[in-house]
Amino acid sequence: MPAPITLTKRRPPARPPPAIRAPRSSECDVLRPGNTWRDSSAVWPGCTIGARLFPPACNVWSGGPKVGEHDDSSAPANAVSGNPTASTAQRQPALASAPTAAPPKYLWLTGRLVPWHEATVHITMIGWPAIGAVFEGIRAYWNAERQELYLFRLDEHLRRFGQSMKLMRMRPSLTLEQIRAGVLDLFRANEVREDSYCQPLAFTGGQVWGSRATADQVPEILITTRPSPSALLSGRASTAGVSSWTRISDNVLPPRIKAMPNYANARLASHEAQRHGYDVPIFLNTAGKVSESTGSCLFLVRDGVAITPPITASILESITRATVIELLNDLGVPVQEREVDRTELYIADELFFCGTAMEIHPVVRVDGYEVGAGMVGPIVARLERCYHDIVRGIDRRYERWLTRV
C-alpha cells in the first residue's frame, strides 16, 4: 500500500516594509494645511497611518522586542504602514525579518555585574515565580553632538519600582540608591552610546508552586539594557479601537504599579485590536469610562483644553503622564484631569498616547472616526518637539529630569 502523501503549506515570503522618512525640523513645528485622508501621507508630512512605533533600524538582541514591539505592551504588536482603510489581511506585518544585534556584555544581578551568557536560572523558574514579578521601564537618550547619554527621570522610576515591590510584599536586600548605582554601572560597563531601554526587574526565586506566596520575601533584582531607538519626530501616527476587554481595577490587579500579571489584560486587548485592524486598543474601566491603552496613558484635546483620565480611572501612575501635564501647563495649554466618556474620543480635536516606551504618540482615528481633521494636531506637534528637546538635553530648563551616565 503506498505511503500517504503529506501536503505542506508553504508560507509566502515576507514583503519588505516601506521606509519612513523622518520629517525635517521645520515640519515638526508647523503642519501643512490642506492634508486629508485621501493622501496616506497627510497625517503628517512624511508619515503614513499606522507607521511603525520604532524606526526600521531597531534591531535588538535576540530575545528582545523587535520593530513594533516592546516589553510593556505599549506598542501595537502589529503597527503597520499603508492604506488607512485597508483590512487587516491587506496590511503588511510590522515585524520584519532582520539580523539581530549582539546582546550586551553584561547584566546586573542583585549587586554585581554578570556576563550576559552566564546569567541563567532553572527552567522551573518559568511560570509561578513570574506572577509576582514587578519591573520598571527607563529610557536613555543619546546626544550625539555632546557625546552624552541621559537617563530620563531615573529617580522617579526607581521610586515607583520601590512602591511596586512594597505592594507585592517584597522586601529587597538592596536600597533604591544601590539599585540606582547598579543602573549607572551597567550602562557604563556596556559602553552604551545609543538610545536604549533599561528594565529593572524584581522576582522571587526558589521553589514556588501555585499562587500561594510567603510575605516579605527577599527578591532578586535584575537590570538589563537594550537598544531602543526613539521614534520622536519620526512622523508616526496610529489608529485605535475601544476594546471589549475591561481594564483591570485596583481591587483586582492594581494597575498603578508595574506588575507582570497586569499585562495579560493588555495582551488580550492587543490581540483583539490586531484582529479588528487597529494599531492600538483603548480600555474602558468598570464604570464604562475611558481608562488608558496597553502600557500608555491617554490625552485628548477639545477646544484647546487637554483632558486626561484621573489616576483613579484604573491607570498606571505614569511618570510620562505627569511630565506631559507639567509641559502642557508650561506651553500655556490648560489641563483637566477628569472622567472621559467614550464618545469624547470621537469628537476630540486631537488625541495622543504617552508612556516611557511609547513616548508621545499621536492617534488620528478611533473606531473609524477621524480625530479632528485626520492629521496630527498643533498641540501634539508642539508637545512632541518639546519632549524631544528635553530628553536629548537640548532644552536646559528641565535638566533636573536628566541623569548623565
What residues contact residue 274 under an 8 Å CB cut-off, 6+ apart?
76, 77, 78, 88
**How much is the pTM?**
0.77
* Tens digits of residue pLDDT in 55-72: 333 334 433 333 333 344
Q: In CATH terms, is domain 106-229 a member of 3.30.470.10?
A: yes
The band of 126, judged by pLDDT with boundaries at 50, 70 and 90, is confident
* Tens digits of residue pLDDT in 97-107: 344 578 999 99
The band of 205, judged by pLDDT with boundaries at 50, 70 and 90, is confident
The band of 132, judged by pLDDT with boundaries at 50, 70 and 90, is confident
Q: How far apart are CA 202 and CA 172, in angstroms?
A: 8
The catalytic residues are: 258
* Tens digits of residue pLDDT in 250-298: 999 999 999 999 999 999 999 999 999 999 999 999 999 999 999 899 9
225 pLDDT above the threshold of 50:
yes
Cell triple for 312: 483613579
Q: How large is the average pLDDT for residues 134-150? A: 97
* Tens digits of residue pLDDT in 36-56: 222 333 333 334 344 333 333
The band of 124, judged by pLDDT with boundaries at 50, 70 and 90, is confident
Pair 127, 211: CB distance under 8 Å: no
Q: Which pLDDT value is given to residue 40?
A: 32
Q: Which pLDDT value is given to residue 210?
A: 61
Q: In CATH terms, is domain 37-96+232-396 a member of 3.20.10.10?
A: yes
351 pLDDT above the threshold of 50:
yes
Q: What are the residue boundaries of the structural domains of the chain, listed by start?
A: 37-96+232-396, 106-229
From 20-24, 126-130, 239-243, 390-394, the region with the lowest mean pLDDT: 20-24
